[in-house]
Structure 1
């Protein structure tokens, strides 16, 4: 039995990239090589990799992929490592779809390129994820395999809607509306991290099973199709996808971090409070890369050693000032009680 892939320590200001090796057979095992890439580097500045946006999915029924070190850039470890890495079924299915038949494909995928067992590394990598997605040549949105709910047909309908003109516009049929709703109810649209991944993207390719559609057409088609669907609002990610090609990214000299600068953090928390995360701390960490303003000294930067209750206290102090006292209680301290001058202000 193959041993587990041993991650080497990642140097400061570096990321890993996956070189996905080709195969002509869908059933062939997944093989890849890990590239250690310092920041900045030409491979990043030139956008020679793609970043995957997806949902990890259920940990049940995991699959194995085969990895080994590749010192392609001359900055890797002196001792190459190899082994297997366990990934979720959803990610494994994405890798099968992403794998080319004859050429390598260079990707950034969080579950593979970040050593999830190393909290210090996770903190460092999460802090630069907005930059990682913004530097990628393209963000690949993986909605999952076709599961018989008509999702692939929905993508065909979305593309047709995107190509409509005022003279050729037709009302979306009931069956197509149901397929569209099923597609938009997939877990990807509820995940909090996708907000940053979409907002940072240079360009987007949406994938569902064997179907693909560019992000601009996806946005146009979904918006047009939903006009015929009563009481169905566009997912939160659609608003960010709309501005993908117009948004400017900058790193203010006094801010010390890569900033998308979309809105102040309190506004983002209010707008996207219903987004989901397996780890409740991610409902804050995932929005830091979107936020404007100086957050470096806020105590809110990604730190997975920080207890949820302490994070909530820091968040409340940041949003409301130090005149409040904050008490956290309940299961995993997910209830915060805010007190001002003798009055309970609310429950979050």
Structure 2
């Protein structure tokens, strides 16, 4: 997280009183730069999202004033139910519903005393209407993830508490766990496999984003798990299963997870 200049009260009032216009992207001043959002806190979870969009260099080796930021890794989601976020004093930007929800949860996690959270999110920080800019920025994405203080892996809204499942599994002997998992009255494993079979876990670009990360965190709603903890969790899952009794679909998911969690963020 980054401490940034607080959004002045006068500007918040001006945002309500001034005619709000659609946000206009300006060309990047330098090919080595990108945009970042400064996400501001709010009193209530459902309050409108308010951000500033700023242009900065991201690579500390090429500037004396690099941005300190977290980079988001997530599934793009549907164009349906898009909504506006508010940029600066009097601009608005339409973004996808899942990005709105991501920003709400990340905003809710701003450390007390901090005035903003600095993030890189491709859907906002790259002008999606400018194909030339998109082409240049896409070639830089590996470096953008590598220079971030951490990569935040958004898997979705609440629905699968990985930490609770891990504690539950670790508290049982292997034979009892297998019986417990496949008891028809208990659908925890089915819910878990559905969770792993959708969204972020099926994206193509996650390998690049994890391999370049200094540090990575799995985020599901308000819950967070370090990538290293998640790797241990998946290994624990693998050790509990006899692959002979699994369906091909579940086997494929577990093998994909095993390959994915073999990736180690750089130190």
Same fold (TM over 0.5): yes
* 1:85 CA drift (Å): 0.9
Task: Give distance in 2, aligned partners of 1:9 and 1:209.
Answer: 34
Unaligned stretches of 5+ residues in structure 2 = 1-18, 182-186
* 1:3 CA drift (Å): 1.6
2:210 corresponds to 1:198 = yes
RMSD (Å), alpha carbons: 2.6
| Conserved? CA contact 2:38–2:117, under 8 Å | yes
| Higher RCO (CA-CA < 8 Å; seq separation 6+) | 2
* Residue number among 35, 45, 51 corresponding to 1:16 in the alignment: 35
Task: Give distance in 2, aligned partners of 1:235 and 1:133.
Answer: 25
* 1:226 CA drift (Å): 3.5
Could you tell me which residue of structure 1 aligns to residue 177 of structure 2?
171
TM-score of the superposed pair, with normalisation by structure 1 = 0.59
Give CA deviations for 1:19-68 in whole Å, capped at 9, x if unaligned: 11111310111011112113533564xx7210001111110010110113
Task: Give distance in 1, aligned partners of 2:143 and 2:105.
Answer: 25
| Conserved? CA contact 2:49–2:86, under 8 Å | yes
| Conserved? CA contact 1:158–1:222, under 8 Å | no
Structure 1 residues 90, 42: closer, same or farther in 2, change over 3 A? farther
Structure 1 residues 135, 236: closer, same or farther in 2, change over 3 A? farther
2:67 corresponds to 1:59 = no
2:17 corresponds to 1:5 = no
Could you tell me which residue of structure 1 aligns to residue 126 of structure 2?
114
Larger relative helix fraction: 2
3-state SS, counterpart of residue 171 of structure 1: helix
2:147 corresponds to 1:127 = no
Unaligned stretches of 5+ residues in structure 1 = 69-80, 249-348
* 1:176 CA drift (Å): 2.8
Could you tell me which residue of structure 1 aligns to residue 219 of structure 2?
207
3-state SS, counterpart of residue 22 of structure 1: coil
* Residue number among 45, 60, 63 corresponding to 1:41 in the alignment: 63
* 1:221 CA drift (Å): 0.4
